Structure 1
Amino acid sequence: MEQQVKEILPDDLIAKLEKGEKLQLVDVRELEEWNAGHMKEAKLIPLGFLPHRLDELDKETPLIMICRSGARSHRACEYLTELGFDATNLVGGMLAWPGEVEK
């Protein structure tokens, strides 16, 4: 059975960040993509490394998963949700992100 994935729109994420909500932003892109531009609040954990770095994530704090367009982060959300994490996919990924980007 396919896991239902929660989603958040970029503008809604900006609103949550501006309100100071406690969130874990995890970027599952590769290092080269990260270096081209990322959210300053995000942590880089490439999708292939996610199973080996679960200990870096807090099950008590909601996760926002980020990638280039939303496909890899969707897969990451399915995986993490099955493991009991509160994971939400950023719709459209970095391609849709209107906020600040660090390089």
Structure 2
Amino acid sequence: MSHGVKEITPQELLEKLAAKEQLQVIDVREVEEWNEGHIKEAKLIPLGFLPHRTDELDKDIPVIMVCRSGARSHRATEYLCELGFDAANMVGGMLAWPGEKEV
């Protein structure tokens, strides 16, 4: 699925968060999906709102995009990269997330 989009595995993200690396984890799912469980350090910005909320992101800090299976976050990663962000897509999405989920 990679069309020049940087990717990160769920395990790699888990390790980066455990190491307290400075990251922005953005979940582009809908509110109902978010409420079923999300990564504790993530911020919810549903995909449809992303173009209106990019000012909430810091271009100097890497952005990791997350969704349910990796498809929406892949599109979001492409979009942010076009805007000059250092963005990566978490492959497999929350379906593949090995860490704890906050509800």
Coarse TM-score class (shorter-chain normalised)? over 0.9
Aligned pairs, how many? 102
Is 1:100 aligned with 2:95? no
Which of structure 1's runs of 4+ aligned residues deviate more than 3 A? none
Query: What are the superposed Cα offsets for residues 35-73 of structure 1, whole Å, 9 maximum, x if unpaired?
Result: 011011000000000000011000000000000000000
CA positional deviation for 1:3: 5.4
Structure 1 partner of 2:38 = 38
Structure 2: runs of 5 or more not aligned: none
Q: Are 1:25 and 1:65, in contact at CA under 8 Å, matched by a contact in 2?
A: yes
Structure 2 partner of 1:59 = 59
* Worse-matched range after superposition: 12-21 or 69-78: 12-21
The separation in 2 between residues aligned to 1:95 and 1:75, in whole angstroms, is 17
Q: What TM-score results when the alignment is normalised by the length of structure 2?
A: 0.96
The separation in 1 between residues aligned to 2:98 and 2:36, in whole angstroms, is 15
Q: What TM-score results when the alignment is normalised by the length of structure 1?
A: 0.96
* Worse-matched range after superposition: 72-81 or 7-16: 7-16
Structure 2 partner of 1:76 = 76
Structure 1 partner of 2:21 = 21
Identity fraction in percent: 73
The separation in 2 between residues aligned to 1:74 and 1:59, in whole angstroms, is 18
The separation in 1 between residues aligned to 2:15 and 2:68, in whole angstroms, is 21
Aligned residue for 2:65, secondary structure, equals: strand
